[in-house]
Structure 1
C-alpha cells in the first residue's frame, strides 16, 4: 500500500485498543509518541518498546505504559534492564536480533524511530510483517529507499511519514489527484547558523550547532539541521515516499517553522500545512490515521506570530545541502554512500575530530572515492555498501580534518 495518497471514505470503527510498538522509545520521537499514548490509555495497548542502551528510562516507560516487552539493543545494558523491570512481569531482551524480533511482534502500528542505519533492519522487519509503519527513521529511505518502498508495496503495508515535512506533504497530497501534483517544497528553519558568516560557521563548536532555534531533537539530527544536510536527506526521502522526480522537489528556508511543506497543483493552487513546531502534531496524525485525534499541543496563533518569511537556501555557506541534492539527482546508490559518510562526519564533529565545514568536506570526498553503482536491492547489499562507505570515510577523515582546520 505504501503511503496512502487518497483519503479513505470513512474511518473503520473498532472497539479494540490499537496495539502499538515503539522502536526508539527513549528518543525525542519515542517519548513524544508515548506522551500521546499515555493521554488515551483506553485507545492503545503497548506491545514492545525498544531503546539503544538507556535501560533506566526504557524500564520506566515500559512500566508506565504497561508494555509486554522491553528491549535494549546494547547487550551490556541487559542486566540493568532486568533489574529495573524486576517484579513488573514485563519481558526483557537485548541485542540486535532481539530488536528485530520486537519489531515483528504482533502489533497494529509500529513507530520506527531508531536513529541511523541501525534502524534499517528492524524497520524493514516491521514493514515485512505487514504492519502500519509510522516512519521517523530517515536512513531507511536514504540508504535503501527502492528496497523499502518496494517491500511495502509487495506486502501491502501502510507507510505513514512522521517527519513534519513529509507528514505535511502527505496531508497536502490528499487534496487532489497525485497526477496533478507539479511541485513539492520542503521548508527548513535554517538552523542556528542561518545568519552567520562563512567565517563564523567555520569556527562553530558542537555546543553552538546543538542549539536549534525551534525544535528539540537528538544530537545527530540537530547537527544535520545546522548543516542543512537534514533537508537534503529529506528530499531523498520525499522522492521515494511520494514517487517524485528530483526536478519536482525544492527547499525554502522558513525561520519560523510554521509552514512545514507546500504542495503545488497543476491548477496553480499551493497547499501549505501549518502548525506550531511540535512533533506531537505529525505523530498524532499518524497515530490516529485516518481519524484526527485531540492533540495536546499549543494552537497556532498567526496574529501573534504576525509574519512568515521565506528565503532560498545559501548553498555556498551550506554546501551539505548542495551535495545531498547532487546525490539525489545522481540516484542509484549515491544516497547510501552520502548517508554513511555523513554519519561518520557528524560523529567526528561531535567528538571534535572534525570542524563543522569538514562535515560536508568528508561527505564529498567519500562520494568521490566510492563507486556506488546501482541502488541496493537487498538488505545485505545496503548494509555492505554502508559499511564500505564508512570505512572509506574513516580513512579519509585525517586528511579532511587537516584541510578543514
Structure 2
C-alpha cells in the first residue's frame, strides 16, 4: 500500500547524558493520582481509543461528580480527569471497574495503545486493527513482566495506511496485505516480519525482550529508543510513513469531531455520547485529540458543532495543541491555552503540527516535524520549527508577535 522507506542511520544506544531514570516513573494513572495546582489528576488508559457509549457516559459522570466537570484527551488517545480530591482514587477506581475501564489494577498504567482511528471504516488499510487492540490489551494485562513497563511506554497498531506508524512508538505493528504485520522497535530503520495471527503476541513478547535486555545490561531505560543496540530490529524494509490525522467533519464511514486542545466539558462529552448512541454505539479517541464517531447520522454534525466541537476542516486549529499551562500547572510561565486560542482564532492556515508549552518539559508535544511555541515568561515566547532538515529558533517575542511567527513557522518549507 505504501512505498518502501529508504534506510536511515541506526539510532545510537545508551550513552553518557541519557535521561536519568533513578527518580522512578511518576506517570499518573487511574488509581495513582498526580497532584496539580487545580487538584488531583487521573489518567484513564483507553487502548486504541475505543469506548462504548456507556463507558463514555461513565467518564462524564466521574468528571462531574468527582472532578471539575471537564475531560481531557491526550496524545496517546487516553482521557484525563482534573480537579479531583486527593482521596478520589478509590471512588474513581470503583466507577471505572464497573464500566469495564479498569481490567487490571497492576497493569492499568501500561495499557498505552494507539490504533489507526479510521480502521475498518473507510476501506483503507489492510486490517481492522480493533481486534488487535483487544487482544493486545488482554495479553498485556495477563503478562507479569509487562507490569514493569513505564507509564509512557507506547504500542502503536497501524492498519497499513501509515497514519499512526509515524508516531515513533516503542513497539509498532503495521498490518501487511497477507494478514501479517511488520514489527518495528523504537526508531529502528528496519522491522521484523510477523506471521498472520501472531501480531499482538509478538508485540507483548517484544516488550518483554526490552525489559529483559535492559535488566541484563544494567541499563535504566523507560523507552526502547534508550536501549537501541540491545535488541535485534529485524531486516524487513519499512513502508514509508505517511502520517496525518483524519480531517474533521463527516466522511463516508462516520464523522470526526475536533476539540480545542483536547479539553471537553461534560455537556460536550455527553453530546458525543448521544451521537454515538444514535449510530454505532462506539467512539474512537485519536492521538490528535479528536473523536471519531463511526456511522454517525447526518444530523449529528450540526448538533456537535452547536455544542462547540470543531467540524470545519482547513482551519488553523488543525494539529494545534497546548499543555495545561497556568493556572492549572505551577510550572507554567504563562496561560498558554488562552494565548494560543487568540493566535489560532486570528488569520492563518493549517500546516505543521504546533504545540504551545508553558515550560521546558513541553508536556504533550507531537513527534516528527512540528512547531514548538515555548513560554519564556508571562508574556513572551520562543518559536522553534523542528524539521528533518534542522531547526530554526526565534528570540523572545511578545504574545502579539508570537502569533504571526507561529503561523509562519507552520507553513515554512
**TM tier, shorter chain?**
under 0.3
Structure 1 length normalisation: TM-score? 0.28
Structure 2 length normalisation: TM-score? 0.27
* Bigger helix share: 1
